[in-house]
Structure 1
Amino acid sequence: MTVLEILPLAFVMVAGPQILSTIFLATSENWRWNSAAYVFGASLSITFVVLATYLLGNGITAGRTSNDTVHLIVLLLLLVAMVHVYLNRKESEPPKWMGKLEKASPRFSFRLGFLLLGFFPTDILTSSTVGSYLAGTNRPLDDSIPFILLTLLFLASPSITLIVFGSRAETFLPKARDWMNANSWVVNEVVLLFFVGMNIRTLVG
């Protein structure tokens, strides 16, 4: 798997309440600081999970566990993520706490970004997949930087849209929110299925 091949996992990271939250924050009273705090919190937790699983993966490799074992672990993580996404596909309504985001504070936004992107089931599995795969294939940790940066860019996109398009974005963002809310699980499944296929091909080959 090349660096470009892990980038689509960034879609998995943000599809769901993650991008919905940042859209809500982009229309909050203090949207600039809230959006920045949310993205900053997310950057810390994503980096932490990738680093932790990368170091753990290096430990497994150092213990002479075969690359096939690492691929099997990654495959298991992906399958668990697919099951989680499918079982929660009917939860189309945003969580009740999202109604509070319009009056959120930067401190709350930071905490939300840190917890949601770092420890939401799909996200922790996705970040763990990136870290463990890079370790298992003896790739440098630097190869995770494009994945992290693209994820953060997606999270910042609603506020960037507001800065660039101004009032016109206020009409577009709710529509984007509704589309993501209705179709996020499909996007997740397609991307995860792609990486399941990549791992199976590696194991068979």
Structure 2
Amino acid sequence: MKKFLLLAAIALSCIHSSFAQRFKQGVGAGFSVETADYMDTKVNFGFTYSPALFFAEAEKSSFSVGIPLSLGFNEGYSSEYDDYDDFYGSSSIGFMLDVPVILNFNYGAGALSGGRQKWGFFVGGGYGYHLTTANYLYDYDDNGNYRSTESSTFGVTANAGFRIGMGHHHRHNLEIKFSYMKGLTDYRPDVGGVNCIFNF
């Protein structure tokens, strides 16, 4: 994790010194649904801080590199039959962390420093780190309950969405983002999410 963050910081510094024309940031909230083999489905709720460096600006478009950091909590549900064939379920609360590095193509609202467009969109992909507490169906503690364990993964990620220009000359924008991550290490989860972010 430390090596990943260090490489991300170095990459952003290189882009800033060579190409970047503008730095923007945003804050917001959203949710995601996480599934994996032998693990309860998780619904993650979190808050997002989204810094990004914009470069290669054209007439109505630009590219950007960002790290939309999300931190939040999740709830999982477990169910099973006991020795008397009685069905019961239980829920559990955990936490989650998302640290993706994303390269986006931006068009319209939010793409340019002096742009006045009311609408815009973006699409891109990258690589990310995901951390969660997970209830594994095959892992029991001494009392026969599911054991809650901390799991993390690295994987590829993609996102797309649209922006609505806000404020004077639409210099700020409201962003609706749809994202997906496929974990390639450890428990290999699928994580799909929706975020609403105000960029300023």
Same-fold status (TM-score > 0.5): no
What range describes the TM-score normalised by the shorter chain of this pair? Answer: under 0.3
Q: Which of structures 1 and 2 has the larger relative contact order (alpha carbons within 8 angstroms, sep 6+)?
A: 1
TM-score, L = length of structure 2? 0.24
Q: Which of the two has greater strand per residue?
A: 2
